[in-house]
Each structure stands twice: as C-alpha cells, then as structure tokens.
Structure 1
Amino acid sequence: MIRPCMIVVVGDLVTDVLVAHDGPIEPGSDTAAAITVGGGGQAANTAAWLARTGRPVTLVAAVGDDPAGRERVAELTAAGVRCAVRAHPGAVTGSVVVLAGPDERTMITDRGAALLLDPADVLRAIDAAGATHLHLSGYPLLHEGSRPAGLQALAAAAGRGMTTSVDAASAAPLRAVGAEAFLGWVRDCDVLLCNADEADVLAGDGPAQEQARRLTAHARNVVVKQGAAGATWAGRDGVVRAVRPERVRMKDPTGAGDAFAAGLLAAWCAGEQPEAALKAGAALGAEAVSAIGARP
C-alpha cells in the first residue's frame, strides 16, 4: 500500500571541496585533478535526493552566519528542500575536502557550525513539519557538541510515533565512540543503514548477510550498503534480502550512499516492501555515481 510520507532529515550541511583525481596522489608534488566547490553533508545530500524523488522533505541543520552558509541553504531551497537551518553568528559553516579517486574517496573534515546543532531547533522543526518519518545522519551522534541534538531527534520521533532511520555515517568516528555506545543510542530504530566499513565496526568481520543479521539485535531492520556489489537488508523477521545494481560507469562515488539511502527511504516510507526499497536505493545510487558531485 502506497501511503503519504513527510520526512524530516537531521544532520549536517557543509561545503564540499571536491578533488576528483584519476590517478594516485603524488605526496610532496603535483597531482592533476578537477576541483569543484558546492553543497555537501550527509544529511543535506540525502534531503536533496529525497526531494529529487518528489517526497516532501525538511532538513534540520546548523551553518555559520556567513556567505557559505547562505549559499548552502539557497542551493537546497532551489532543489525543493524545506530548510529549518539556523545560521549561528560568529561560527563558520563546516567544510569537507573530498579526495575522490577512481575507486574510493577520502574526506578531510572541519565540522564548523554543524557541531552547534541545537536540540530545541530539532524539536521545533519536527513539530512544525508534521512529519511521519525521521532520518538521522549519524554525524551528530558521533561528536560530543551535536550529540544532544541527535538524541533529541530520536526521542522526539519515538514520542510522536514516527518511524525512524539512522545512517551510521563514517567508520573512523564510529570507532572513536565505540560500537556499544552508538548502538545504544540508536536502539530499536526502524532502519539502520551502514556501509561495509561501518558494518565491520558495528558488527565485526563477516559476510554482509551475517553482519546485518547480528545488528537486528539493535535495530528492527538493517541495511548494509556494499557499493557496486549491491546491498543487503535483514529484518527481525529473519528474512534476508539482497540486490545488485545495474553496472554503470562510475565518475564519482561522492554522495552515492546518501542517494541510495534517499531512494530506499522514499520507497519504504511509502509502503514498499524491502526488495522494492533496495532496488529504488540502488537506482538512485547508480544515478549518483554517474555524475560528479554529491547532489542530483
């Protein structure tokens, strides 16, 4: 049954400095690359891709009261995202240098004003949006300054009977906070998404199917994203589903996981079954890797 769904996304909105290089980086010398500057942030990217699917979506985030912050909000508004974004005077909008090679990307991050995400702003935006689903980027939970806002988002959603999803965000900060703490914060969320590296941190080594099964002790449904190898969904019903995307020429992997999450959530929140949601996520992820940049 297809049902209406209003989604609130909580997390980060930053500037991406994308460095797309075809070969290895030459330390201490020059490496040829195409460099672009634009909007980024896991939560903001997911919101933009959700808007691409036609879903009503609100982004809750924090930026600096600076030109970069105003540009980032304007980009998302033009893309159809409702922005509940506070501009903090004296703070600098976060920025990320993304080193995108042919097969992988590395991020060098300055969280900036993203660490100032305010629990009161999150609560106000959730109530104003009248949303039925909360999607939380894991980044707020992974940093002490923004963690109260991430926890407030999950508590508010639970108290209002909303469904919830969480993206595990990034392997290195996950290791820093520890799997036990993170899984405690997101316990019993409806959908937990993680990529292969994040699944290793949260569930230990093993096949994606087994990792997803283990993590259903903490979340009702778990999706392990495996890039070109596809994705795996496990639920507490004991059934494991998997999908492999169509092969496409990859230009840039930046934002592909965020696009996948958007496609999957747009379908699942509308009442589609897990197999259909996985296919929708894979289709949007394939669109993302076929172009340069993290947004539609």
Structure 2
Amino acid sequence: MPAATDRRGPPHVGAGVVTVLVIGDVVTDILTVHEGPLAIGSDTIASVRIAGGGSAANTAVWLAAAGSAVAFAGVAGEDEPGDARLAELHQAGVTTSVRRVPGVATGTVVVLTSDAERTMFTDRGANRLLARADIERALALPGLRHLHLSAYVLFDPDCAPAGRFALEEARRRGLTTSLDAASAAPLEQLGGAKFLSSVPRTSLLFANLDEARVLGSPDPADLRHLADGVIVKSGAAGASWAGPDGTASAPGRRLPAIVDPTGAGDAFAAGFLTAWLAGETPHAALDAGNKLGARAVAKLGGRP
C-alpha cells in the first residue's frame, strides 16, 4: 500500500441523531451477468453495470431504506469513484464518517453472476487503511445505540485491529453490537470458529449457511458460544435464530426468479436489525430480514 497523507475533511457529513453505525468497506461494484460457462481465453457475452457496493455500505443503505437513522464509517480514496460512492450514500440518507486518502484508490470488486451464483474479484484499496482514529471519530456521533461490523474488516490484518477496537469500544460505551460473518472462504482460511472466538463477543452474529458450517454447525443453537444471539440465513429456505430467549425461524419469500444474490445478506441484516432494535420478536425480525433479502435478489446489484 503506498504512503499517503490523510485528508479528513468534515468529520460527519449529513450528521443528525444516528441510531445505527455501520463500519466496513465501501467499493465500486463492476457487476457482470452472463449465461452459460465462461469462455476462458475468448469472449463471453454479458450485461455489465457499475454501481456502489461493499457489504457494510450496502447494509447502511438498506438500513436507511428500512427507516433506520444510520451512519457509515470507513475509508475511501480521494478519487472520482470515491466521490461517486459517497454521493450515493448521502442520496440514500446515510450519514457518513469517511476519511478520504489521496494516492490510494477507492476499493473495487468485480462480480461475475451466472445462474444465481457469484464469483468476486476484490481489490480492497483504501478500505485497508481503516484505523482506530476512524472508529473513535465515528463513535462521537450523537444518539448511537448499535454498531454493526462487516467481518471483511477482520479478515485483513491491516485493519483488523480497528475492527476489534470498534467492537470492544462500542460495548464499553453500552451499545449493542453485531457482526456479519461476511464470506465463507476467508473465514475458513483463518480458522472459522477459532478465529471468531478471538474477536470481542457481539450481541448478534449473522452467518449464511456456508459460513455457519465453517463456524461449526448450520444450527444457530450450536454457535451460541460465539455471540449472544445467532442468526443463520438459508436463502430461499428462510432463516433461523438462537438466543437467550430460545429459538425461532421464519420461512423464505417465494420469488419467480433470482436475478442477482449480491447484497442479499446485507439487506437481510438491515431488515433484521431495524425490527430487532424496534423491540420486535426474533420471529418478526427474521421475517423482516427475509423480506428485504427477497427484494435484493430480485434485482441486479447490492442496493435498493
């Protein structure tokens, strides 16, 4: 990563009283949808679109769409893609606490989608520079009740200390916390449940079925040693919960077709958190998550 001088700019753009703080990546998604196998070494016909992405940024936008007062904290390059990504967040109603860094590109992800499956090529760019000072600045926002962290922050050794600090400091300040397990492959490389056991305990842990299996079990009750409450998302089959008040489940929504699964887990987390923070039952929160997740897969891209 090249050396760079930080340009912090305004600490919080669009700031008011914010209930939920989401910390993690903001990227440019290059979305491609193709039919049939890739023609390696030749041409493959596809639809290509550029859009805002990043698991944490997506979750923030879905939270805003669900009616939550939300802020996003992260790092972006001082470049045109960074300008565009932040403008999208502001337009969606998301307060931002984002450090801009010249000389480092805003992150980019190439997403290949075919038959409702995704393959992603990731350049995290400026996201790798997330630091403790970024967390402290974001936690100064008034009215915070909950902090949500994408595990992509913890997968990268450059910014993992900032992610751990975020969870520790939020809990110290009396906030509830949640962690999205993010991705099965890096989670498995880092040791699954052993890796997460070294991370500060959270109020909620979100995992899809593949991530839950890497963590040890598809049954959320078996993963309660990792968080106070555990949510396992099973796509069209619905989602399940295990927490101090027992277990719950909610069926998935019927859809005529899945266009693109990008952002479905981010949307689910937003729906669940909005309901959970409003005092709804686990079943109602699961149902709210399934509803937003279904909206996400019915369209191309990870945003509403």
The TM-score by the shorter chain falls in which range?
Answer: over 0.9
Q: Percent identity?
A: 52
1:273 has 2:286 as partner: no
Amino acid at match of 2:36: G
- Preserved contact between residue 19 and residue 144 of structure 2 (Cα < 8 Å): yes
TM-superposed deviation, 1:27:
1.6
TM-superposed deviation, 1:196:
1.2
| Selected match of 2:123 from 104, 107, 110 | 110
- Preserved contact between residue 167 and residue 200 of structure 2 (Cα < 8 Å): no
- Preserved contact between residue 58 and residue 129 of structure 1 (Cα < 8 Å): no
Partner of 1:178: 191
TM-superposed deviation, 1:238:
3.7
Partner of 1:226: 234
| Selected match of 1:144 from 125, 144, 157 | 157
Partner of 1:215: 223
The secondary structure found in structure 2 opposite 1:216 is helix
TM-superposed deviation, 1:113:
0.6
TM-superposed deviation, 1:187:
4.5
From the two aligned structures, give the one with the greater helix fraction: 1
Q: Provide the rounded CA distance (Å) in 2 between the counterparts of 1:106 and 1:138.
A: 18
Q: Provide the rounded CA distance (Å) in 2 between the counterparts of 1:133 and 1:185.
A: 21
Q: Provide the rounded CA distance (Å) in 2 between the counterparts of 1:63 and 1:196.
A: 31
Partner of 1:68: 81
| TM norm structure 1 | 0.93
Partner of 1:198: 211
TM-superposed deviation, 1:197:
1.2
Partner of 2:255: 247
For the aligned residues, what is the CA RMSD? 1.5
CA 1:6 to 1:250, structure 2 compared with 1: closer, same or farther past 3 Å?
same
1:86 has 2:99 as partner: yes
| Selected match of 1:293 from 283, 288, 301 | 301
1:14 has 2:27 as partner: yes
- Preserved contact between residue 5 and residue 269 of structure 1 (Cα < 8 Å): no
- Preserved contact between residue 240 and residue 247 of structure 2 (Cα < 8 Å): no
Deviations 1:85-136 (A, max 9, x none): 1111211111000011122111110111100011111111112243100000
Structure 1 alignment gaps of length 5 or more:
none
TM-superposed deviation, 1:58:
0.3
- Preserved contact between residue 31 and residue 113 of structure 2 (Cα < 8 Å): yes
Amino acid at match of 2:275: A
Structure 2 alignment gaps of length 5 or more:
1-16
| TM norm structure 2 | 0.91
Q: Provide the rounded CA distance (Å) in 2 between the counterparts of 1:266 and 1:60.
A: 18
| Selected match of 2:140 from 124, 127, 144 | 127
1:165 has 2:178 as partner: yes
- Preserved contact between residue 8 and residue 129 of structure 1 (Cα < 8 Å): no
TM-superposed deviation, 1:239:
2.4
- Preserved contact between residue 186 and residue 219 of structure 1 (Cα < 8 Å): no
Amino acid at match of 2:230: V
Q: Provide the rounded CA distance (Å) in 2 between the counterparts of 1:19 and 1:129.
A: 39
1:236 has 2:249 as partner: no
TM-superposed deviation, 1:231:
1.0
Q: Aligned pairs, how many? A: 288
TM-superposed deviation, 1:195:
0.9
